[in-house]
Amino acid sequence: MANTALPAAKADARTTGQRLVNQWLANIHSAPERGQPVAYIFVMGNAVEILRTFDFELVFPEINSLQTGVRKAAPDFLAKAEDYGFSPDVCSYVKADVGLMLSNMEHPSGTHIPKPDIAIASSLCNVYIKWAEIWERHFGVPAFVLDIPGKRFANWQPLPGTPQYGADKRWVEGQLCDLIERCEHITGKKFDPDRLAEVESNVNEMIRLWVEILKLNQQRPAPYNSMLDGLTYIGVLNAWRGTPEGVEYMRLLHDEVAGKVARGEGRVQEERFRLIFSGTPCYVNMRRMVDLFESHGGVFAASDYLTYAAGGLDSSGLFYDPSRPLESLAEVTTLASQLGLSNHFFSHQTLAQQVKEYAADGIVYHGIKSCRTVATSMADNREYVTSRYGLPTLYIESDLIDPRYWSDAQIKNRVDAFFEVLEQRTLKGGR
């Protein structure tokens, strides 16, 4: 890339991101006293655009749970859920959330998480609906379940223009109308399509910038690590999706990352290997995990997590048409779900494309001990990229937030061996 000077970023994206996260948590904390309605939603398939039009404060229980890991408080919350009777095999995000309920919703961030006025689940992860049923029982708030059809068969995709896509879209749109009715009832406000269009325009701009930010990491050296810096980026992206603040943050971030590219600044001092991370992070030890790779000069230039965890695959470049906001929301929701977490049929193709675009030297798969859903497709996926592209891959396993599944010596051993494989390949001049 040409070494052109870009104007310096006006404010620091990191500080701004931190401020926005704090403000988001403070808003949640103070919602009841301000009479603000609260929605519990998941990261994928959440119809957040509609909730924004009704000014709900958004609580992401997945983010609450991962934050117990980041803040090293997960064991206490997991223990509470297990003491209550949950099996150690149950999704650790669910258990941390149950632990939070059993702790009077006092989150280790210092936030008191208020009870929901509406709780929305979707069919995009097979745990979501059961999880929402726990909320129903605990808070006495009926869950609203969005049934979003994904891909049903391998090698078949209901694309726009096909009768099946039309049916899927209508199915989703009908549910969104039901959701709007429910929101009107809860808030006493009338649905405003112009407000939805405004929110969608903001989302479009955030996505446009996000796609650019992801592309900037195709540069060598990669300006950021998608599994460390990138995790902060999507946290803000999710919490402030569809807002002017979110747009401003993405602009700052984009300029900052573009500046690094222009100056040739890499995330690691000497980038020796460009890697792709597939799967969900180990939030309780992510810095350590990234260190294990970066100490060998390996940087995660891309990850499928930054696509599917960003509100449901924003990086595929799905944009809203604000001139017909509700219909467009149904269309994008339908298409995004085809590419989301629950779809295993085409994930290998997405990954293979990333390998080319990011000039990856290898792929690291991270299996989650308490989530078989994300780990299930990894074997096929790995077989595909290994046999088709001869690309070195590594499979390591730990958990989302349960430190009991982190075995440092075992993981380090595998990572060291993986880099020996990469080194041998480099010496032989092959990939």
Partner 1 sequence: MVYVAGIDVGSTQAKAVVLNDQAQIVGEAILDVEMNMGTAAQQVFDLVVANAGLTADAIAFTVATGYGRYRVTFGDLQVTEISCHARGATAEFPRTRTVLDIGGQDTKAIRIGDAGEVMDFAMNDKCAAGTGRFLGAASFALELPLSDLGPLAMKATAPVKITTTCTVFAESEIIGHLAKGHRPEDVLAGMHYAIATRCASLVRRVGLTPEITFTGGVSRNAAMVSLLQQVLGTPLNVSAQGHFMGAIGAALYALDHARSGSRQPHVEEVAP
Q: Give yes or no for a cis peptide into 221 (omega within 30° of 0).
A: yes
Q: Cα separation of 17 and 256, whole Å?
A: 12
Is the Cβ of residue 20 or residue 401 nearer to partner 1 in the bound state? 401
Q: Are strands 118-122 and 273-279 parallel, antiparallel or unpaired?
A: unpaired
Binding-site member from 195, 215, 414, 431 for partner 1 (CB under 8 A): 414
Indicate whether 416 belongs to the interface with partner 1 (CB under 8 A): yes
Q: Give the interface size with partner 1 as a residue count (CB under 8 A).
A: 21
Q: Cα separation of 322 and 202, whole Å?
A: 10
Indicate whether 431 belongs to the interface with partner 1 (CB under 8 A): no
Residue 177's Cβ-count burial label (10 Å; 0-12, 13-18, 19+) is: middle
CB of 115 to partner 1, least distance (A): 37
Binding-site member from 1, 26, 359, 417 for partner 1 (CB under 8 A): 417
Q: Cα separation of 75 and 402, whole Å?
A: 7
Indicate whether 426 belongs to the interface with partner 1 (CB under 8 A): no
Is the Cβ of residue 34 or residue 428 nearer to partner 1 in the bound state? 428
Q: Which of 330, 411, 316 is nearest to 364 (CA)?
A: 411
Give the pair of three-digit tokens for residue 411: 């993981």
Binding-site member from 22, 349, 353, 424 for partner 1 (CB under 8 A): 424
The footprint of partner 1 on residues 44-103 (CB under 8 A) is: none
Residue 427's Cβ-count burial label (10 Å; 0-12, 13-18, 19+) is: exposed
Residue 264 main-chain phi, psi, to 5 deg: 70, 25
Indicate whether 273 belongs to the interface with partner 1 (CB under 8 A): no
Contact track, partner 1, 310-349, x by CB under 8 A: ----------------------------------------
Alpha helices in 140-243 (DSSP H): 163-187, 193-216, 229-239
Beta bridge partners of 396: 366
Is the Cβ of residue 159 or residue 379 nearer to partner 1 in the bound state? 379
CB of 414 to partner 1, least distance (A): 7
The footprint of partner 1 on residues 350-409 (CB under 8 A) is: 367, 369, 379, 386, 392-393, 395, 397, 405, 407, 409
Binding site residues, partner 1, CB under 8 A:
367, 369, 379, 386, 392-393, 395, 397, 405, 407, 409-410, 413-414, 416-417, 420-421, 424-425, 428
